[in-house]
């Protein structure tokens, strides 16, 4: 009786090990892609031109410097209509290779920011000036899902 119990336990464990290893070999039809940092911006009424001029100059200059340094992969700007007076109407998108790269390059990103935008005092002045023409409604980090198996 004791041998049958041991045999049964060994069989159950064997089936579990085989089942888990089989599951590990299953290819999913998707895999994780790059990571996007999204900023949701509300341009204040009548200030679209002023804020988009900033985005097309200073913000773009920073993104290009980060791209040249290998900190980011790309960036995009999307404009939409706000559905309510408290809704965002612009999305600033910055693409990173993955979460690890985003976190590992924080110091490098700060160094580039200091070089391009100036010291902390100058950056704070820029934030104050932009507060007159836009409001940051929120931010998210999103992972892209690629709809193809991992190679």
Q: What is the pLDDT of residue 150?
A: 84
Nearest-5° Cα angle at 33, 141 to 66: 60
Q: What is the pLDDT of residue 79?
A: 97
Q: What is the pLDDT of residue 119?
A: 94
Between strands 134-146 and 90-96, the pairing is unpaired
Q: Which DSSP symbol is given to 62?
A: H
Terminal Cα distance for the chain, rounded: 49
pLDDT tens for 100-131 read 999 999 999 999 999 999 999 999 999 999 99
Please give the helix or strand (H or E) that residue 137 lies within, else none: strand 134-146
**Range list of H helices, 25-147:** 48-54, 60-68, 99-104, 106-117, 120-131
Q: What is the pLDDT of residue 74?
A: 98
Q: What is the pLDDT of residue 12?
A: 53
Output the six-digit token pair for 88.
């965002």
The domain limits of the chain are 31-146
Q: Which of 100, 103, 101, 82 is nearest to 91 (CA)?
A: 82
CATH of domain 31-146: 3.30.70.100
Instruction: Match 């932009």 to its residue by tokens.
Output: 130
CA distances from 75 to 23, 44, 62, 93, 111 (A): 37, 23, 11, 5, 19
Q: What is the pLDDT of residue 57?
A: 97
Find out whether 143 and 28 touch, Cβ atoms under 8 Å: no
Flag residues of the chain having pLDDT under 70: 1-25
Q: What is the pLDDT of residue 24?
A: 53
In sequence order, the β-bridge partners of residue 12 are none
Q: What is the pLDDT of residue 55?
A: 98
């Amino acid at each position: 009786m004791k041998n049958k119990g041991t045999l049964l336990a060994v069989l159950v464990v064997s089936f579990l090990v085989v089942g888990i290893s089989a599951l590990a070999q299953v290819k999913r039809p998707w895999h994780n892609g790059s990571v996007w940092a999204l900023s949701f911006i509300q341009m204040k009424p009548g200030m679209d031109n002023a804020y988009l001029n900033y985005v097309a100059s200073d913000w773009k200059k920073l993104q290009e410097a980060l791209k040249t340094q290998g900190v980011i992969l790309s960036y995009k700007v999307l404009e939409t209509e706000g559905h309510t007076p408290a809704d965002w109407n612009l999305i600033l998108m910055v693409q990173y290779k993955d979460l690890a790269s985003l976190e590992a390059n924080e110091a490098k990103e700060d160094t580039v920011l200091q070089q391009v935008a100036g010291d902390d005092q100058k950056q704070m002045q820029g934030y104050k000036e932009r507060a007159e023409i836009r409001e940051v409604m929120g931010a998210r980090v999103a992972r892209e899902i690629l709809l193809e198996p991992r190679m």
